[in-house]
Structure 1
Amino acid sequence: MAERLVPAISLKDFDKRKDYITQQLIEAAEHTGFFTLVDHGISREDIEAQFAISRAFFDLPAEVKAKTPHDNISNNGWEYKAQLRPSTGTYDQKESLWLQRKSHWPSDEDVPHFKQSTTEFMSKCAGISDQVLSCFAVALGFEEDYFKIANDPSQPDCLTQLRLIHYPASEDAAGTWRAGSHTDIGCLTLLFQRDGEDGLEICPGRESHTSFAIGDTFTPLPAETGPIVVNIGDMLMAWSDDRLKSNFHRVRAKDVGKPSSRYSIAYFNQGRRDFVLQGPLKKYPPMTVGEWFAQSVARNFGSQAKVAA
């Protein structure tokens, strides 16, 4: 498979340039499934501040991090090397903290200003998501605010999550899969990275989501602080009657030497549990977002399935 470029799309003067931005987003979503956003309104300083909050949490002793325990039902909380990838048959070499607005949060005594700063960061992510999803909604023939309503994080049934991720440095990590090949189950993912902490590889141009892209060409996507890497999830692919592409991606440690720590932050737009999901062409039967998640998680993880409550 030929490598494809991941376009950078500017959100500058969004209201004035919305038609042109929509054209760029649709082109990227239909053919690549990945794109980066620049001029999105979250400053480099704000991104670095959130990474500092994340690192402060992951630097805590395990027994302190465990005060925010992972819950298999809600899929919120701290987990360590706990995600088994069917694509590799091994556990991802990372730790992460899953958060929702309604979930249990780390104490400000352990990480000062954690909840306030992180909640504000989540709100900024939601605003950018609303802009992108409003473009997709119009292009697909929905009302402009359709996906904004469907992904409203202020509603009690919203499954949207923020995930703080840390891939620890390790002498024996060289050449390993820090995160095995996978697609995102949800609607739309915003990923923040840090300068020099590479490892993300993407497989753009996939025509279906029925394999793990084994044997296909993966393209490294260098990590930068500032641009947001955005990808379409399986849910939005189905919601668009397969017009928008959900593509495989993975994180691989460099083959030589001791890999350094890698930090990333992912904002997963995952819809409201009771919202009915169906594309404009009705290619697939209607189902609630909750039903979609239950089926998708079971299909992707089997006995390892975790369904957000």
Structure 2
Amino acid sequence: MADEVFPIIDLSQDGNWPDLKGPEIVEACKKWGFMILTGHGIPKDIIDSMFEMHQAFCTLPEEQKLECVIDERQIGYDLKRSKIGMNECMVFGGVKGDIVQGDNIHPWWDAEKRAKVEEFKEKAHNLGLELLKVFATSFGLDPEYFTSAHNMNQGPGSVLRMLHYPKLGEKPKEDFPRLYSHTDWGSLTFVWPRSGGLEVETPSKRWIEVPLIPDSIVVNVGDAMSLWSGQALKSTLHKISFDNLPIDQTRWSMAYFVNANTLWNRSNKCEIDAKLEILKREEDGRLTLSSDQHTILTAGEYHQARLYMSQKEDAKNNWVGQSDLSILDTAHKLASVVERLGVANGSGLVNFSRS
């Protein structure tokens, strides 16, 4: 529809923005599931430094970058050349302190660089916690209702992905996308784009390109937060197509995924797991716990299933190719619940194979 205007919210003039801008933020996340934040408080020089490191690392030969491929903690180099998309990225997941320790991180990322990454992750996470408090307050819940399940010291940890979509000599014969149409599976996602190309599905089901505003953050709601809120908040499909990012163009961006806490042991059993206790809306607008036990999921179940889905197509370049695929049992059980709730993008959860 012609009157659909992408939400852009400026926080810079409001010292108390959670209270002053809260209603506008919540409304954007209900209607669009996406918004752009300007004046967000994360210093420009820190963001610029992250991009400089990212671009320098990507100049290394591919065989060197593949020396530390992404592991189950989502730490390492991730190369995608499949129906998921065509990109490379350095992934910094794990709990607070994992990056400074440097396990499974290429030596190019020395102690100084890893410390900068940890600092950036913490600043992004703190902004995420403020938004989670805004959601809880708007629903009549305790301000810490969501934040208590997003402790940086507990696994799996939130994830920073430093993304590079390189120029291509020709469009892939397999018709692989730049980035497939999908929803994110966590609580919130922050994206710092350095060029255009990101497309989202509007409330009227049209695809539009997200406006590119310097020094802003593109924010979207993930499946976990949509489930948690009884789908009051919207998890929206998004993609990058060859139409808006042709083969002769490159794209740089960073994405930070705010995840709820889960902790899996070596027996593939979850010891600590935040429940996605699906809420329902009362007539006065408050959210309360649903009595439908079939809609109570855990962040760990959902995270494990979607993580595997995102890595399976490129298994030869990551941990899946050497892993025990018993996690598929959990994924199959979860898939039926998620499909019924209608939140996930449906790009493979119910079609897992054991091959």
1:292 to 2:302 alignment: yes
**What does residue 36 of structure 1 align with?**
36
Report the more deviating stretch, 119-128 or 252-261: 252-261
Q: Percent identity?
A: 27
**What does residue 278 of structure 2 align with?**
279
* Secondary structure of residue in 1 paired with 2:67: coil
Q: TM-score, normalised by structure 2?
A: 0.73
In structure 2, what is the Cα distance between the partners aligned to 1:36 and 1:255? 19
**What does residue 99 of structure 1 align with?**
92
Report the more deviating stretch, 296-305 or 13-22: 296-305
Written as runs of structure 1 = structure 2, the 5 A alignment for 1:137-156 is 137-155=136-154
Instruction: In structure 1, give the amino acid aligned to 2:129.
Output: D
Residues matched between the structures, number: 286
**What does residue 163 of structure 2 align with?**
165
Report the more deviating stretch, 221-230 or 290-299: 290-299
Instruction: In structure 2, give the amino acid aligned to 1:289.
Output: A
| Cα pair 1:107 1:114 within 8 Å, conserved | no
**What does residue 212 of structure 1 align with?**
none
In structure 2, what is the Cα distance between the partners aligned to 1:109 and 1:257? 30
Deviations along 1:96-145, one digit per CA (max 9) or x if unpaired, are: 22212436353454567321111111011011111111100111222112
| Cα pair 2:197 2:244 within 8 Å, conserved | no
In structure 1, what is the Cα distance between the partners aligned to 2:246 and 2:255? 27
Instruction: In structure 2, give the amino acid aligned to 1:139.
Output: S
Mind listing any 5+ residue stretches in structure 2 that lack a counterpart? 263-272, 281-288, 310-330, 336-346
**What does residue 47 of structure 1 align with?**
47
Mind listing any 5+ residue stretches in structure 1 that lack a counterpart? 85-89, 207-215
In structure 1, what is the Cα distance between the partners aligned to 2:53 and 2:352? 29
Deviation at 1:259, TM superposition (A): 2.6
* Secondary structure of residue in 2 paired with 1:180: strand
Deviation at 1:68, TM superposition (A): 1.9
Greater relative contact order (Cα < 8 A, sep 6+): 1
In structure 1, what is the Cα distance between the partners aligned to 2:159 and 2:214? 21
In structure 1, what is the Cα distance between the partners aligned to 2:118 and 2:254? 13
In structure 2, what is the Cα distance between the partners aligned to 1:257 and 1:129? 32
Written as runs of structure 1 = structure 2, the 5 A alignment for 1:67-146 is 67-71=67-71, 73-82=72-81, 84=82, 90-101=83-94, 102=98, 104-107=103-106, 109=108, 113-146=112-145
CA RMSD in angstroms comes to 2.7
* Secondary structure of residue in 2 paired with 1:66: helix
In structure 2, what is the Cα distance between the partners aligned to 1:240 and 1:29? 11
| Cα pair 1:57 1:111 within 8 Å, conserved | no
Summarize the Cα distance change of 1:295–1:258 in structure 2 as closer, same or farther, 3 Å threshold: closer
Report the more deviating stretch, 13-22 or 241-250: 13-22
1:200 to 2:179 alignment: no
Deviation at 1:78, TM superposition (A): 1.2
Report the more deviating stretch, 163-172 or 287-296: 287-296
Q: TM-score, normalised by structure 1?
A: 0.83
Instruction: In structure 1, give the amino acid aligned to 2:234.
Output: K
Instruction: In structure 1, give the amino acid aligned to 2:90.
Output: L
Give the structure with higher Rg (CA): 2
Runs of 4+ off more than 6 Å: none
Summarize the Cα distance change of 1:279–1:256 in structure 2 as closer, same or farther, 3 Å threshold: closer
Deviations along 1:38-78, one digit per CA (max 9) or x if unpaired, are: 1111122221111111111211111221222122x334321
